[in-house]
């Protein structure tokens, strides 16, 4: 199978007051469709930076990134926005919902950017929220929801344009274990439906939900192995 994502010697350096911070320092990773990958590593090792680059939110200082065989650095703003909008669903540790908009509205926004007609939009957004078990919280604002509920809204938002890749950066980091399990169930469900899942976590137990575990340290890949004992969150 051809690679969905292919990173070649990716570097991301920051210049912080004259001092060079090598957040990523030569990453080589290839990801095929329908893999479930955990990225592990200590704080500051470069996990989020890597996710942002894979998600076409950030541009590497050096190296090449091919998304579905196409070079990302040759794409313009509209193409990148379109990938973020249709191909990738991002789930963040801090939820990153629009605070002043209702759950339904939050889930509707990606559909606005993909020019989906209004009536269809509301229908899709509603069923997406129902699929994560929030059918009774459509008109609640983020601050009227629990952490687990907020993260489920964020997942509903990530899924609304039926992307093939889900990027989840510590999706359970801010949640209690019960809510965390629910999120992991949703991710596993998506994996069984054929989606590619990339999950950042620093918890070993969470990482074991994936069938491939990549460990990074100081911006470099320390280990990249298959996980034989994948936990099936049912």
Partner 1 sequence: MTFDAIRANKLRSTLTLLGISVGIFSVISVMTAIKTLESSIESGLNVFGTNTFLITKDPAIQFGRNEKYRNRKNINLDQYFQLKERAKLPILVSGGDETQNVRVVTYKDKKTKQAPRVSGGDYGTLRTVNTYIADGRNLTEEDVHLSRSVCIIGADVVDVLFPFEDPLGKVIQLNGINFTVVGVTERQGQSFGQSQDNYVFMPVTTFLQRFRGKSYSLGITVESESSELYSETLDEVIGALRAIRKVPPGEENDFEITTNDELMETFGSFTGSIKIFAFSISVIALIVAGIGIMNIMLVSVTERIKEIGIRKAIGATRRHILFQFLTESVFLCQIGGIIGVIFGIAAGNVISLVAKVPAVIPIDWAIYGVISCSIIGIGFGSYPAWRAANLDPVESMRFE
Ligand X SMILES: Nc1ncnc2c1ncn2[C@@H]1O[C@H](COP(=O)(O)OP(=O)(O)OP(=O)(O)O)[C@@H](O)[C@H]1O
Token pair for residue 72? 């990302």
Q: How many CB atoms lie within 10 A of CB 105?
A: 17
Helices (H), the chain: 47-54, 77-82, 103-113, 118-131, 147-159, 177-192, 204-207
What phi, psi does 64 have (nearest 5°)?
A: -120, 145
Given candidates 5, 10, 27, 46, which one binds ligand X under the rule CB under 6 A? 46
Binding window for ligand X (CB under 6 A); candidates: 42-50, 81-89, 106-114, 181-189: 42-50
Given candidates 16, 20, 119, 234, which one binds ligand X under the rule CB under 6 A? 16
CB nearer to Mg ion: pick between 7 and 160: 7
Cα distance between residue 104 and residue 88, in whole Å: 20
Q: How far is CA 161 from the centre of its chain?
A: 14
Given candidates 38, 45, 128, 195, which one binds ligand X under the rule CB under 6 A? 45
Residue 14 binding: pick among ligand X, Mg ion, partner 1, none (C-beta 5-8 Å cut-off by kind): ligand X
113 lies in the binding site for ligand X (CB under 6 A): no
Q: Least Å distance between CB 85 and partner 1? A: 2
Cα distance between residue 40 and residue 37, in whole Å: 10
CB nearer to partner 1: pick between 80 and 230: 80
142 lies in the binding site for ligand X (CB under 6 A): no
Given candidates 17, 20, 43, 77, which one binds ligand X under the rule CB under 6 A? 43
Given the rule CB under 8 A, which residues bind partner 1? 52, 55, 57-58, 77-78, 81-82, 84-86, 90, 92, 96-101, 105, 109-110, 112-114, 157-158, 161
User: Which of 66, 60, 67 is closest to 26 using CA atoms?
Assistant: 60
Q: How many CB atoms lie within 10 A of CB 217?
A: 14
Binding site for Mg ion (CB under 5 A): 48
């Amino acid at each position: 199978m051809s690679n969905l994502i292919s990173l070649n010697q990716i570097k991301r350096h920051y210049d912080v007051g004259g001092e060079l911070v090598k957040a990523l320092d030569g990453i080589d990773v290839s990801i095929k469709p329908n893999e479930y990958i955990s990225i592990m590593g200590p704080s500051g090792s470069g996990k989020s930076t890597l996710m942002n680059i894979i998600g076409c939110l950030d541009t590497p200082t050096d190296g090449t990134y091919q998304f579905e065989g196409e070079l990302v650095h040759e794409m313009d703003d509209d193409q990148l926005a379109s990938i973020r909008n249709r191909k990738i669903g991002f789930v963040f540790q801090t939820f990153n919902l629009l605070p002043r908009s209702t759950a339904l509205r939050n889930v509707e926004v990606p559909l606005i950017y993909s020019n989906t007609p209004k009536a269809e939009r509301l229908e899709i957004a509603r069923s997406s929220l129902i699929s994560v078990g929030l059918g009774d919280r459509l008109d609640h604002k983020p601050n009227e929801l629990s952490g687990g509920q907020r993260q489920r809204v964020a997942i509903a938002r990530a899924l609304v344009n039926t992307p093939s890749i889900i990027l989840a950066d510590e999706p359970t980091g801010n949640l209690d274990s019960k809510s965390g399990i629910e999120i992991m169930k949703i991710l596993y469900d998506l994996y069984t439906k054929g989606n590619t899942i990339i999950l950042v976590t620093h918890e070993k137990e969470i990482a074991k939900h994936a069938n491939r575990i990549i460990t990074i340290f100081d911006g470099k890949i320390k280990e990249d192995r298959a996980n034989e004992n994948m936990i099936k969150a049912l």
